[in-house]
Amino acid sequence: MAEGTAVTERTATTERAGRRRGPHLVPGRMVAVLLGGLAAALAAVAMAGVTVGSVDLPPGAVWRVIGSHLTGAASPDPLRDQVIWELRTPRVLVAALVGAGLSVAGVALQALVRNPLADPYVLGVSAGASLGAVLVVSFGATAFGGLGVTGAAFVTALLSVLAVYALAQRGGRLLDSRLVLAGVAVGYLCSAATSFVQLRLDPSELQGLMFWLMGSVAGATWSDLGVPAAVIAACTVLLLVQGRSMNALLAGDDAAAGLGASVPALRIALLVVASLLTATSVAVVGGIGFVGLMVPHAARFLVGADHRRVLPVAALGGAVFLVAVDIVARTADRPNELPIGIFTTGLGVPFFLWLLRRRPGGAA
C-alpha cells in the first residue's frame, strides 16, 4: 500500500517535471519573459547604436540630447544634437524596423511555401522590390502609374513572388531545389534590370547601385520611419490573427482545410504581406539579405513552431539583430562604413548552406 502510493507519487512528479520542461527550449509560459528580455536587449542595443559610430559619444551626452527632444527643452549642444538626433537615432530606428519587417516577411514566406529555406532575399523578392523602387527613383513616379517608391517596390515584389511560386511548383507541390533555383534566377533577372536602369540613367551613380544591391541603413531620416512602422505593425498583427491557420497550413493544404482554415484566402494574405513587408524594407534600406532566414529559425529554435509565438519573438529578435549588425558595420573599419548587407550575407550564407545540407534530399 505504502509502496504503491510512493510509486504513484513518483510517476506524478516525473510527469509534472516533464510537462514543465516541455520539448521547446523556452516553454510556453516563459515566452512572455523572453519577449521582455528581447525588448530590454533592443533598448540596450539601440542605446549602444546611438552612442558608438565614427565618433564615440559619452552616454550622458546622448541621454541629454534625447531627453531634450522628448521633453521639448532646448538642445544642450547643436553639433551633438545633429549627430545624435538627426543621424544616429533615425538610423537605429530604421535598422530595428527593417530587422523586424524582414524577419516577419521570412516567417510569412516560409509558411506560404511551406519551406524553411524561404527568405525575401533568397527567393528574389528583395531584388524584385529593388527594381520597382529604382524605376521610380530614376524615372519619377509617373514611370509607375503614379505609385511612390514603396508602392512600385510592392508591385514588383509581388510579381516576383508570383513568378517564383509558379516556376517552383509542380502539381501543387513545391520542391526545395526548384524553389531556390527559381528564386535565384528571378533575383538575378531583377538585379540585372536594376543595374541596367541605373547605369543607363547615370553612369556615375555606382554608389546608388551598391545601395540597392547590398543594402544600407546609412542616411536614414525621421521621414523614413512612418510608413515602415505602420506597415510592419499592421502586417504583424494580421499574421498573428492568422497564427492558428498558419500552423495548420504547415500540415498541408488538405489538412489545413480539414481544420477549418480558408486556404486560398490565407495564401493570398501571406503573399501580399510578405511582398508588402519586403517592399517597405527595400524602399528604405535596399536589399539586406538573409535576415528573414536566420531570425525566424532562431525564434523557432527557442519557442517551437507555433506561429503565435514565433512571430513576436522573430519581430523583436530581428530588430535586435539588425541594430547590432549595423553597429558592427559602422565600427569594423572605422572611419569607413561598410554596407550592412555584407555582414548579414556573410552570416546568412553559411547558415543557409548548413540548413540545406541538414534537410533530407530535396523533399517539399
Partner 1 sequence: MRLDIAGVTAEIDGTPIVSDVDLVAEPGAFVGLIGPNGSGKSTLLRTVYRSLRPSAGAVSLDGDDLWRMRARQAARRRAVVTQHGDLGGEFSVAEVVAMGRAPHKGVLERENAADRAVVADSLERVGLAHASDRLFSTLSGGERQRALVARALAQEAPLLILDEPTNHLDVRAQLGLLDLVRSLGLTLLAALHDLDHAAAYCDRVVVLQHGRVRASGPPLEVLTPEFVADVFGVRAHIGAHPITGRPHIAVASAKPW
In the complex, the residues that contact partner 1 under the rule CB under 8 A are 18-19, 21-24, 114-116, 241-242, 244-245, 247-248, 250-255, 257-263, 300, 304-306
Residue 24 or 64: the one with the smaller Cβ distance to partner 1 is 24
- Check if the beta carbon of residue 141 is closer than 8 Å to that of residue 147: yes
Helix, strand, coil distribution of the chain in percent, nearest 5: 75, 0, 20
Q: Could you tell me how far CA 345 lies from the centroid of its own chain?
A: 13
Minimum gap (Å) between residue 71 Cβ and partner 1? 36
Provide the minimum distance between the beta carbon of 242 and partner 1 in the complex, in angstroms, as a whole number: 8
Nearer to partner 1, 162 or 257 (CB): 257
Cβ neighbour number for residue 146 with a 10 Å cutoff? 11
Nearer of residues 112 and 163 to partner 1, judged by Cβ: 112
Identity of the residue, 29 or 357, whose beta carbon is nearer to partner 1 in the bound complex: 29
User: ∠ CA 94-98-100 to the nearest 5 degrees?
Assistant: 120
Q: Minimum distance between the CB of residue 245 and partner 1, rounded to whole angstroms?
A: 7
Q: How far apart are CA 153 and CA 137, in angstroms?
A: 11
User: For residues 148 and 252, which CB has a smaller minimum distance to partner 1 in the complex?
Assistant: 252
CB of 39 to partner 1, least distance (A): 21
Least distance CB 182 / partner 1 (angstroms): 19
Cell of 230: 505602420
CA 174, CA 250: separation in Å to the nearest integer?
A: 13
Residue 163 Cβ vs partner 1, minimum distance, rounded to whole Å: 20
Query: HSE of 121 in the Cβ direction (CA atoms, 13 Å)?
Result: 25
Of 332, 280, 354, 11, the residue nearest 120 (C-alpha): 280
Shortest reach from residue 97's CB to partner 1, in Å: 24
Closer Cβ to partner 1, 106 or 341, answer by number = 106
DSSP class of 170: E
Q: Residue 160 or 247: which CB sits closer to partner 1?
A: 247
Cβ-based neighbour number of residue 268 at 10 Å: 12
42 vs 248, which CB is nearer to partner 1? 248
The C-alpha cell that represents 15 in the structure block: 510527469
Q: Quote the cell numbers at residue 42.
A: 533592443
The three cell numbers locating residue 214:
547590398
Q: Which backbone phi and psi does 308 adopt, to 5 degrees?
A: -65, -20
Given the complex with partner 1, which of 23 and 78 has the nearer CB atom?
23
The overall longest dimension of the chain from CA atoms, in Å, is: 90
In the complex, minimum distance from the CB of residue 358 to partner 1, in angstroms, rounded to a whole number: 13
> Degrees (nearest 5) of the Cα angle 89, 340, 107?
90
Other beta carbons less than 10 A from residue 97's beta carbon: 29
Work out how close the CB of 21 gets to partner 1 at its nearest, in angstroms, rounded to a whole number: 7
Question: Shortest gap between Cβ of 109 and partner 1 (angstroms)?
Answer: 13
Q: What is the DSSP annotation of 261-292? A: --HHHHHHHHHHHHHHHHHHHHHHH----SHH
Which of 27, 148 has the CB closer to partner 1? 27
Give the whole-angstrom CA distance, residue 184 versus residue 207: 24
